[in-house]
Structure 1
């Protein structure tokens, strides 16, 4: 079946086949205007008693009997093997926000691949939500109201510089790079303000910071698509 773009004026919940916190995911699905699955993530959605609006991937992780349970037009098969199922799904979603469950944890290689996709598709605002952590590509400017003492980590996916307020260890003047300086285990001391020069910095927070992050992202400028 030819793949098409999923359009939504509200947030989309995207489900992968990795580790999910069931209660959090079920709550998100019940409130979602649009549910999309990446290949085997459709099984998780079905097990929670819901039907995804679309399933993207090569379908090598979704059993034929489960595929048969889906209404016509839901499966959006993409056979190429040069990208992950997460990438296949994310690049076919047009939405102001994607909340992605099932892409952090369980397998390190899958987590690293998902973070790479976040950076590659930085124009598609997407928050990865795991059992313990949440992650997003830091927008050009971001303001966060987080409790003092909250862990805030910054990990570069490429060379990047930025500025900060409200962190125990300011990042101003630091040249970040994956094989050089990284910014893990920083700490919130006051209202946080972050500015980034490029869409290369992954912001990692505890899952408890999700509401504060979504509030900050709602007011933040977006990165343009990469050339």
Structure 2
């Protein structure tokens, strides 16, 4: 559902929403998203690959500095939602304007490192917006209060804190119990699964990177509501 109220999300759904950015998109990324989400939103220039694939986005959100006329002219005007302020990225503009149980994103990882860091920072800032980003071989998401995943033993599970967090784990080669993870301090990259993995964290701020084949498990976990959720961050 598209909502034009200035005080409410632009796009709202009780089902997953796909969000496409203007960065690197893998050869199968659009197909992966379009079979899992009926509603598709583009963040600014992310409209281009959608239009070129034959799928007109249900909404385009951003400052429109990357949306070229050959693509913009093919999108109905009522689906264009320019947010002109320059204090946030197009990913942030789009994510904060979506209300859904989970957002599945592509076109935000790879390419320029500064862009990727800004995207990862937004995942943490928008802690109340469950979002899974597709990478080439992995997915990344902001850890909810608790999550359980079936991961093949030996596969990598990386944990990277953007804030100071503590937690507990089961099924990891190196347990995180009693660790304090924080930027500039202890991190948890290149950990490995021993069995089914369970994570709990005491607060928002931890990014998790797991193999791409866990995507459907992750989506189901967020859709079930069993993960718990973080409140809107005070600004």
TM-score (norm 1): 0.95
Tell me the SS of whatever aligns to 1:41.
helix
In structure 1, the residue matched to 2:60 is: 55
In structure 1, the residue matched to 2:228 is: 221
- CA distance in 2 between partners of 1:21 and 1:170 (Å): 33
In structure 2, the residue matched to 1:206 is: 211
Conserved 8 A contact 1:2-1:77: no
Q: Map 1:23-62 onto structure 2 (within 5 A).
A: 23-62=28-67
Question: For the structure 1 residues 87 and 30, does the alpha-carbon distance in structure 2 shift closer, same or farther, using more than 3 Å as the test?
Answer: same
Q: Map 1:190-205 onto structure 2 (within 5 A).
A: 190-205=195-210
Unaligned ranges ≥5, structure 1: none
Conserved 8 A contact 1:160-1:196: yes
- CA distance in 2 between partners of 1:76 and 1:200 (Å): 29
Tell me the SS of whatever aligns to 2:57.
coil
- CA distance in 2 between partners of 1:51 and 1:145 (Å): 35
Q: Map 1:1-227 onto structure 2 (within 5 A).
A: 5-217=10-222, 218=224, 219-227=226-234
Where does structure 1 differ by over 2 angstroms across 4 or more consecutive aligned residues? Answer: 1-4, 211-219
- CA distance in 1 between partners of 2:51 and 2:212 (Å): 24
Instruction: Report deviation, 1:141.
Output: 0.8
Unaligned ranges ≥5, structure 2: none
- CA distance in 2 between partners of 1:40 and 1:2 (Å): 23
Deviations 1:52-110 (A, max 9, x none): 00000110001122211111211100100000000000000011110010111111111
Conserved 8 A contact 2:150-2:214: no
- CA distance in 2 between partners of 1:84 and 1:2 (Å): 21
- CA distance in 1 between partners of 2:121 and 2:77 (Å): 32
Tell me the SS of whatever aligns to 1:119.
helix
Deviations 1:151-199 (A, max 9, x none): 0000000111111010000001111111111000000001211010111
Question: For the structure 1 residues 11 and 22, does the alpha-carbon distance in structure 2 shift closer, same or farther, using more than 3 Å as the test?
Answer: same
RMSD (CA atoms): 1.5
Conserved 8 A contact 2:29-2:134: no
- CA distance in 2 between partners of 1:62 and 1:114 (Å): 19
Deviations 1:21-46 (A, max 9, x none): 13232242244210000000000111
